[in-house]
Structure 1
Amino acid sequence: MYDYEQVTAFLGEWGPFQRIIFFLLSASIIPNGFNGLSAVFLADTPEHWCRVPANLTSEWLNASIPLEMRGGRQVPSRCRRYRLEALANFSALHLLPGRDVNLSQVEQEKCLDGWEYSRDPYLSTIVTEWNLVCDNDWKSPLSISLFFVGVLIGSFVSGLLSDKFGRKNVLFATMGVQTGFSFLQVFSTSWEMFTALFLIVGMGQISNYVAAFVLGAEILGKTVRIIYCTLGVCIFYALGYMLLPLCAYFIRDWRTLLLILTLPGVLYVPLWWFIPESPRWLLSQGRIQEAEAIIQKAAKKNGVLAPDIVFDPVELPDLNSQNQQSFSILDLVRTRNIRCVTIMSVIIWMVISIGYFGLSLDTPNLHGNIYLNCFFSALIEVPAYTISWLLLQHLPRRYSMAGVLFLGGCVLLFIQLVPAHLHVVSIILVMIGKFGITASFSIVYVYTAELYPTVVRNMGVGASSMASRFGSILSPYFVYLGAYDRFLPYILMGTLTVLAGILTLFLPESNGTPLPETIEQMLRVKGIKFKNTSKPERKTKNGEENSVILKTSSF
């Protein structure tokens, strides 16, 4: 059988060619970090109150907004005001509000003349631009949800396009889509236009990530590939995420901020001449000479002598010579064991996605400086990815993932017990929760790929990844619930995360066991009785490779 790894072994694992590919592809992920979570600042809602156009004295203007309970204290209402005719009548009598007249009996009305917005900390957001408050406050989370709908669509489309047109072509085309449509968003004239463009940006964002991920996984050798898949792209994503609050701190207008976040995409155009197409994909398309040229060039860059003929055309047909049984999505639920694995994986992935994006989008609502909170939320991802990589190297999958899920969920539940004046403690607990959930997000990819057999592994990871997209679509509405009860999002996310940790304990342990080739060879779910079946006898090279290559985007 034709073995790509063996044929190209002369290149080595970590030469100049591999280092360039590793860092350039990882760097292409940086814009995904600040574009993917830009809504944290673009769609945030500043303090606001009803505009009062009447000719009233300053005392009456201050008294024109009724008080309401919010966050355990009385604050001016955001969506109601006293009826202006009544206030004008009282003012004409030269009465002083609060002393000579009881305003509690005065009829209230909606903000019929619009709103006034605080200019701290933002000069403008899409909320202030199109008055997405009060009766229209549902539009802001909907914009973010539709971005993640675009991510869901892009997850489906990117794989098909990449297989048909090539990894490199799709990578740069989708980077162009992300950059181009983000630029058009700057000139949005309505909320509807902004949201429609945001959906397309989401499609380009995930497609770019997946294309870069697959391209690197197919070019790099096995040892470097594992580091690239678990640390390289993830940490560079976190680096882009950390740049987001830095830019937002100096640029407080949403249009200018979005423009600044979009422009770096243009800087990636020259990478076209440094990043090659995947030789594996070229071979699968019968383009042997192009694949040969890339490998010869890589050998020259690494300073090694390549054979005169790297890929023998006679052996190439062996790549597609195996006739395999056809499987469908229904095979993920055909037997009792794989059905249990699929249901539990879908639930766990969805809960992790809700927690990750819910906590990321909620950082403006934390006490203290919103820019520092967002930066810390991004920074905590670096140790989370590092710890998850170490856990995958040395400890069982099941207990590792359950442990970080319990950590993340429990600290979120403790937040409601922290006294109101201990703001720093609350922020620390949120960051620890983000740490646990981010680490679980990194582990769950490898774990899920190891649970499914080779014949349906791609479909199994794909179905789980799709569930995580639905979780991200729901996450803005978990944040939205914070407007009614500040602790409700943390209670819900913490409870779901703990339950996901408990559910993880029922999954079989895959660490140190051969990857299953068939559905019958799958490890058994805990707590369910099954008939004895044959155990896997060997760990195939193809199966081992799939556990890494078939990992898809978590963002």
Structure 2
Amino acid sequence: MTTTDYDDVTKFLGEWGHFQKLIALLLCISVIPNGLTGFSVVFIADTPPHHCLIPPNANISAEWRNYSIPLEEDNGEMRYSKCTRYKLDVIKRLSDNGSVPGIDVNVTEIEQESCEDGWHYDRSIYISTIVSEWDLVCSDAWKVPMTTSVLFFGLLTGAFFSGQLSDRFGRKNILFVTIGVQTLFIFFQIFSTSWFMFSALFFVVGMGEVSNFVTAFVLGTEVLTPRIRTIYCTAGVSTFFAVGYMLLPLTAFFIRDWRMLLIAIALPGVFCFPLWRLIPESPRWLLSQGRVEEAEAILRGAAKKNGVKAPEVIFQPLQETLNHHNICDLIKSSSIRWITIKLILMWVIICLGYFALSLNTSNLSGDPFLNSFFSAAVEVPAYILAWPLFRSCPRRLCLSPTLFLSGAVLLVTQLIPGKLSSVSIALEMMGKFGFSVAYILVYAFTAELYPTVLRNTAVGTCSTISQLGNIAAPYFLYMGTYYKSLPYILMGSLCALGGLLGLLLPETYGLPLPDTIDHMQTIQRYKKRQTSNRGRPVV
């Protein structure tokens, strides 16, 4: 008997016993910290309203103090300039002379200077952010989006290494190592003394965050039975991520200081460590490594929890030769290579659209905490919808139409007149809904396409390269400053390309998870033969 019989051999456990319920719940809980961390930069690095500081010892009259900052038009409103003030020595001389601003002196004719004494920040929303802590404004304003880019580069690096490490050293080990890395380095960020130190630590936080999610996703995929696997991969793990995301604005609403907010964000990760004793290693992975006795021990423990009796011998000795695999196996054969290329392009397109719309919602008028909450809440029905779609429909017919619909919504959005802003916002939310569905569908589809010996490497590699879409998202939005419709046209067109690529992938609906590369290729050949024989007369 080989690992390809895994689903049939483990049917004695049942589908939804105490063991499966416990594992699904614990793995879902383990991704809640990811939702808290993933978009924390929205609040930690938000830029509060600010203008040049006029020091208390400037010795100028209250009347001149009110006129010391130039006014500039901002979205149709006159506001204090953020980066300049009138020359303070001139203001002081005029104040000492008793001149009246606006009557004796035309204030706008006074020479301006930069904010030599720092900035005054509005504290009505935040007590402090890293922007107000290290004055990341004006000439240093570029550091704010760079902070987000550093996190995404960390996500890219973590996804690349964790997938291969997980396939080599085990799902459980890498899961808890990455939870530890994420939690520990968030705590380290609290003691940051500069923006550079904060960003360097944020890079490591990103490495742990995506690695945790990908590994938990794959571990659940391999441990759970086919029917429950579908629920877990769609509505399960992603909904718990969205729960963590929704908890972020709630937490930030009550904690307005960025250091204290980091403590609150890190605490859920600490509570995940006791789960080590309850979450087992993937028996599928143990079998792929030839560790049959350990795999059987886990399944016998699961049978005991479910109140069923395990067979005397669960697995026969493996007949296949055990080999270690790496990222090169994703492009070694022509059939797997083309699957990998098409999937990577789809991942990049989906991530680009998802993060671009997520970042764009932060620019909406209104309360920033409510905006963030709504941005997270729209994902919950998307993930719930993904479950019945993935359970009852062919994978290609789930993923491709979702991308086509998202693209159509984006193309229509740029045609809406500016005065109908509520319609544009509603369409953008529909677009994010579609991208959220596509995001989790492509995760589950990828896990089904690749064998156990490459599954975490494949998902990790796709997740790694997809971070290029995350990094590009802010720049796509920036194109709107030159031509407002350009971001929507580009993203809508890319969605159409992604939909076409999805139709070219092999179908996995109703097929068992492959455990070896040969098994993967056998399933694909069988599916092709089955498709080509449809409609032929039986002889």
SS of residue matched to 1:536: helix
Unaligned 5+ residue runs, structure 2? Answer: 512-516, 532-539
Please list, as runs of the form range in 1=range in 2, the aligned pairs for 1:48-67 lying within 5 A after superposition. 48-53=50-55, 54-67=58-71
Identity value in percent: 49
- Distance in 2 separating the partners of 1:256 and 1:520: 52
The correspondence of residues 381-460 of structure 1 with structure 2, limited to 5 A, is 381-392=379-390, 393-394=392-393, 396-397=397-398, 399-410=400-411, 412-413=413-414, 417-419=417-419, 427-446=425-444
Secondary structure at the aligned position of 2:528 is classed as coil
Q: Structure 1 residues 353 and 492, CA, compared in 2 at 3 Å: closer, same or farther? A: farther
Q: 1:538 deviation in Å? A: 4.3
Counterpart selection for 1:375 from 370, 373, 376 = 373
5 Å-filtered alignment, 1:349-368, equals 349-368=347-366
Q: Kindly tell me: are residues 348 and 108 of structure 1, through their superposed partners in 2, closer, same or farther at Cα, counting changes over 3 Å? A: farther
- 1:72 maps to 76
1:212 pairs with 2:216:
yes
Q: What are the superposed Cα offsets for residues 102-128 of structure 1, whole Å, 9 maximum, x if unpaired?
A: 222221111111110000210000000
2:174 equivalent to 1:170: yes
C-alpha deviation, 1:287, in angstroms: 2.6
Shift of 1:449: 7.0
Paired residues for 1:306-325 under 5 Å: 306-312=310-316, 315-316=317-318, 318-320=319-321
> What does residue range 280-359 of structure 1 map to in structure 2 within 5 Å?
280-312=284-316, 315-316=317-318, 318-320=319-321, 346-359=344-357
Give the root-mean-square deviation of aligned CA atoms. Answer: 3.5
Decide whether aligned partners of structure 1 residues 323 and 46 sit closer, same or farther in structure 2, where only a CA change above 3 A counts.
closer
Aligned to 2:466: 468
Question: Do the aligned partners of residues 139 and 382 (structure 1) sit closer, same or farther apart at CA in structure 2, a change above 3 Å counting?
Answer: same
TM-aligned CA distance change 1:441 to 1:331, over 3 Å: same
Q: Distance in 2 between matches of 1:220 and 1:329?
A: 25
After superposition, give the CA deviation of every residue in 1:155-181 in whole Å (9 maximum; x if it has no partner).
111112212221111111111111111
For 2:158, the aligned partner's letter is G
Which whole-Å CA distance do the structure 1 matches of 2:269 and 2:324 have between them?
43
> Which residue of the partner structure matches residue 496 of structure 2?
502
Q: How big is the shift at 1:430?
A: 3.7
Deviation at 1:192, TM superposition (A): 1.0
Distance 1:311 1:391 in 2: 34
Higher mean alpha-carbon deviation, 139-148 vs 498-507, is at 498-507
CA 1:93–1:427: 2 relative to 1, 3 Å: farther
Gaps of 5+ in 1: 524-532, 540-555
Pairs within 5 Å for 1:502-541: 502-507=496-501, 509=503, 513=507, 536-538=528-530
Paired residues for 1:189-228 under 5 Å: 189-228=193-232
Greater mean deviation of Cα atoms: 512-521 or 186-195? 512-521
Post-superposition CA distance 1:355-393 (Å, at most 9, x none) = 322333344432111111111110000111223344443
Question: In structure 2, how many angstroms separate the alpha carbons of the residues matched to 1:366 and 1:17?
Answer: 45
Task: Tell me the CA shift for residue 210 of structure 1.
Answer: 1.5
3-state SS of the aligned residue for 1:386?
helix
User: Secondary structure, in 3 states, of the residue corresponding to 2:42?
Assistant: helix
CA contact (8 A) 1:367 1:427 kept: no
Of 142, 145, 148, 2:149 maps to 145
- 1:344 CA displacement: 6.3
- Structure 1 stretches of at least 4 aligned residues deviating more than 4 Å after TM superposition: 321-324, 326-332, 341-348, 422-427, 446-464, 476-479, 510-523
- Amino acid of the structure 1 residue aligned with 2:21: R
Q: Which residue of 2 aligns with 1:106?
A: 110
3-state secondary structure, aligned to 2:27: helix
Secondary structure of the equivalent of 1:365?
Answer: coil
Partner of 1:83: 87
Give the structure 2 partner of residue 5 of structure 1: 7
**Structure 1 residues 176 and 15: CA distance shift in structure 2, 3 A:** same
State the 1:474 CA deviation: 2.9
Does structure 1 conserve the Cα–Cα contact (< 8 Å) formed by 2:159 and 2:210? yes
Q: CA deviation at 1:495?
A: 2.3
Q: How much does 1:410 deviate?
A: 3.5
Distance 1:77 1:16 in 2: 62
Q: Alpha carbons of 1:192 and 1:458: their partners in 2 closer, same or farther (altered >3 Å)?
A: closer
- What is the alpha-carbon distance in structure 1 between the residues aligned to residue 304 and residue 384 of structure 2? 33
Residue 247 (1) aligns with residue 251 (2): yes
CA distance in 2, matches of 1:452, 1:268: 29
CA contact (8 A) 1:56 1:91 kept: yes
Residues 288 and 512 of structure 1, relative CA distance in 2, 3 Å threshold: closer
Displacement of 1:200: 0.5
Q: Note the C-alpha offset of 1:478.
A: 5.2
Quickly say closer, same or farther: Cα 1:189–1:321, change in 2 above 3 A.
Answer: closer
Match of 1:528 in 2: none
Distance 1:169 1:345, change over 3 A: closer
Note the alpha carbon deviations across 1:82-110, whole angstroms, 9 max, x for none.
11122223323322222332222221111
The C-alpha deviation readout for 1:457-493, integer Å capped at 9, x for no partner, is: 98876654333211212334556x49x95x97x7454
How many equivalent pairs are there? 516
CA–CA separation in structure 2 for the residues paired with 1:308 and 1:455: 27
Query: 1:546 matched to which residue of 2?
Result: none
C-alpha distance in 1, partners of 2:112/2:127?
29
Report the equivalent of 1:257.
Answer: 261
Where relative contact order (Cα < 8 A, 6+ residues apart) is larger, the structure is 2
Larger mean Cα displacement after TM superposition, 85-94 or 48-57: 85-94
Question: 1:299 deviation in Å?
Answer: 0.6
User: Using a 3 Å threshold, how does the CA distance of structure 1 residues 169 and 135 change in structure 2: closer, same or farther?
Assistant: same
**Residue type at the aligned position of 2:472:** L
| Counterparts in 2 of 1:6 and 1:346: CA distance versus 1, 3 Å | closer
Deviations 1:429-459 (A, max 9, x none): 4423322222232333456678999999988
Separation in 1, partners of 2:144, 2:508: 47
Match of 2:535 in 1: none
Task: Provide the secondary structure at the position in 2 that maps to 1:233.
Answer: helix
Aligned equivalents of 1:25, 1:450: Cα separation in 2:
19
Q: Distance in 2 between matches of 1:151 and 1:505?
A: 25
Distance between the aligned counterparts of 1:58 and 1:356, measured in 2? 49
Separation in structure 2 between the aligned mates of residue 425 and residue 359 of structure 1, nearest angstrom? 15
Task: Kindly state the Cα deviation for residue 140 of structure 1 after the two structures are TM-superposed.
Answer: 1.3
Shift of 1:247: 0.3
Alpha carbons of structure 1 residues 343 and 366: separation in structure 2 relative to 1, 3 Å:
same
- C-alpha deviation, 1:294, in angstroms: 1.0
AA at the equivalent of 1:537? R
Match of 1:529 in 2: none
Tell me which of 180, 183, 191 is aligned to 1:179: 183
The 8 Å contact of residues 355 and 493 in structure 1, kept in 2 or not, is answered as no
* Offset, 1:350: 2.6
